Amino acid sequence: MKKIHVLIIDDSAVVRQTISGILEDEPDIVVMGTAPDPYYAAEKISREVPNVIILDIEMPRMDGLTFLQKLMSQHPLPVVICSSLAESGSDSAFKALAYGAVDIITKPKMGTKEFIVESKIRIADTIRAASKASIKKIAPASMDVKPKYTADAVIPAVKKPVLTETTDKVIAVGASTGGTEALREMLMNLPLDISGLVIVQHMPENFTRAFAERLNELCAIQVREAKDGDSVLRGQALIAPGNRHTLLKRRGAQYYVEIKDGPLVTRHRPSVDVLFRSTAYYAGKNAIGVIMTGMGDDGARGMKEMKDAGAYNIAQDEESCVVFGMPREAIKLNAVDRVIPLSRIPAEVCSASRKI
C-alpha cells in the first residue's frame, strides 16, 4: 500500500500532537513531519515533498493564506485547512478555498469516545480525498472507500414512492471534495424560477451557515442553511446544516425538510444517501438528482433509489471534477441519466425541471 505522506503546519504544539496521534493508527497515512509556521514548513518541503498538507490559517511570521497563495503559485500541492476559523465560517476560510485549498476541517477537540472516533474518521477521510484531488484537473487514481453505515440507520429503505399528485418539483444535490466551488458555479447560473433545491455538501458544523450566506450574496436565487420544517420553495436552495442529516419530507402537496441527528452514514453526516433516499420516497418522478465532485460512494445508492422511483439524475463528468469518486460510483450503479461537465449542469437542471 502506497502511504500518504502528510505535513502538519500549526503553531500549536498541542494541535500538531493531537492530529499526529489521530493519524498514527491509519495504515495508509504517515505524518512525515510537523512545523510551527510556514518557514519551517518550507525547509521540510525542500527536503521531502508531502502528498497532503494540513495548514492552519492563524500563525506567526507568515499566515496560512499567504503561504497557501505562494505554494499554489510555485509548487501546487493538496492542502487541507485546519482552523478554528472554519467553525465560524469566516471570510478567511472562504478565501482559502478560492486560493486552492481542497477542503476545510475544524481543529480536533476532546469529547466523548464516539465524538473522537467520528473526528478520526472525518480527518483521515479528508486527507485521503485530498491526496487524490486533481489540482490541475488531472483525473485522480481510483480509491475505494468502505462505508460505515448505510442510510438504513436514519431512514427505512424505499418501498414505494408517495403517490399524491403535485405540481411541485424538487432538485436534490450532493457534493463533497471540491463541491464548494462547484456549487457556487452551478447556483450562480440558475434562474429565479428554478424548482426548489435541497443540497448536501460535506463540510464542518457551523460552516454551512456562512457558506449559504455567502452564496446568497452571489446568486439570483435565495440560498440559506436549512432549518427543521423549512418548505422547499421555487427559487430557493436549502443547504443541509453541518453535522445533521437532512431529509426531504412531504405534507400534502408541499415539500419540506426534516433535520435530524443520527450516526455517520457512508462515513458522513449529513449524508447524501439519506437525502437521496428520502427524495426517492417522497418525490419519486417529481425529483431531479445531481451528484457532483467528491470522494467515496456517498449518494450512489440513494441516487439508484431515486432512479428506480422515476427521478431524472445528472452526474458531473470526470474532467470537471476535483475528485471523480461519488459520480463514478453512481454511474457504476446505472443510477445516472446524463453525465455532463459542470458548466452544463445548470442548463440541464433547468431543462429537466420543465419536463418532469
Contact 198/226 with Cβ under 8 angstroms?
yes
Contact 174/200 with Cβ under 8 angstroms?
yes
Strands 29-35 and 103-105: unpaired
142 CB burial (10 A radius; 0-12, 13-18, 19+): exposed
CA 44 to CA 201: how far, in whole Å? Answer: 33
CA 203 to CA 178: how far, in whole Å? Answer: 11
C-alpha 321: how far from its chain's center? 12
Concerning whether 176 is annotated as a catalytic residue, the answer is yes
Written as nine digits, the cell of 126 is 479528508
CA 43 to CA 9: how far, in whole Å? Answer: 12
Concerning whether 90 is annotated as a catalytic residue, the answer is no
Concerning whether 20 is annotated as a catalytic residue, the answer is no
Catalytic-role residue among 83, 131, 176, 320? 176
142 Cβ neighbours under 8 A, 6+ residues apart = none
Tell me the angle at which helices 91-98 and 179-188 cross, rounded to the nearest 10 degrees.
90
Catalytic-role residue among 10, 119, 131, 202? 202
Alpha helices in 284-337 (DSSP H): 300-308, 326-332
- Give, as one character, the DSSP assignment of residue 343: G
Active site residues: 176, 202, 298
